[in-house]
Amino acid sequence: MTRDQTAVVIDRAILEREVDRVVAAVAAAGPPIRVLGSIGVALHCPATRELLPAFERTYADIDFASYRRDSRAVSSALVALGYVEARDVYINSEGRRAIFHHPLSRIHLDVFYDRLEFCHVIPLAGRLEADVPTLPLAELLLSKLQIVKLNEKDVIDTILLLLDHPLGDGDADTIDVGRIAALCADDWGLWRTLTMNLKKTAALAASYAQLSDDRRARAADQVARLKQAIDAVPKSFGWRMRDRVGDRRQWWTDVDEVR
């Protein structure tokens, strides 16, 4: 399932206004819908989003998450806003994903239902109510760090999240490390990818001239503390069995560009 390769670059302010419009329209119909991806990160990082122009970040679309039980209501609300659904995507994904395109604004929406399924599966049951208009910070961070072929925009988004928010136990403007550590403790592949990408993030953060010395130091400290928290949680039996195999077998699902 690939995105429309003709997607155009759209000003971030326009996409952020569209997030407000979509979230309000869907909420009026009843279901929760939450934004993720790079737009979600920008919205949830007010203190560090001023760095985005220096990193020359561009945007072309918006990612959302909702519950599959509400997919019909979500689709109806988006169609009422002028969007056209690629119905074959919903059918072929067995109801896990939907794609919408607005023929006038040329804005492209991806909607993921019940879980984020990229290189790994991040369940969303009960999580959409924890924040608005974005996914909780833990899931925003997981959506980036669980990509095996981490690209620069994922790294930048990860750095922004770690610079802008403290690590803690809860979702109130905090990255819930307990949530992240618990998922990693039950899934060796997710643990392997996240810890690998945290190492990459720390190395790249140290090299970015766009970051001050203080911000480089904070990024390194946040990475170290998150890695320590993940490693401290006792691992499941399945995790320990998979650890015996290690890197000898692929631990992730190959996916097309999804962010």
Q: Residue 256 — pLDDT band, cuts 50, 70, 90? A: low
> Is the per-residue pLDDT at 1 higher than 80?
no
151-206 pLDDT, tens digit per residue, is: 999 999 999 999 999 999 999 899 999 999 999 999 999 999 999 999 999 999 99
Cα 177 to Cα 137: distance, rounded to the nearest angstrom: 10
Q: Which residue has the higher pLDDT, 222 or 2?
A: 222
76-131 pLDDT, tens digit per residue, is: 999 999 999 999 999 999 999 999 999 999 999 999 999 999 999 999 999 999 99
- The structure's pTM equals 0.93
> Is the per-residue pLDDT at 236 higher than 60?
yes
% pLDDT > 90, the chain = 92
29-87 pLDDT, tens digit per residue, is: 999 999 999 999 999 999 999 999 999 888 989 999 999 999 999 999 999 999 999 99
Length of the chain: 259
User: Is 87 strand, coil or helix?
Assistant: helix
CA atoms within 13 A on the CB side of 61: 19
Cα 2 to Cα 6: distance, rounded to the nearest angstrom: 11
Cα 145 to Cα 191: distance, rounded to the nearest angstrom: 10
Domain ranges in the chain are 12-248
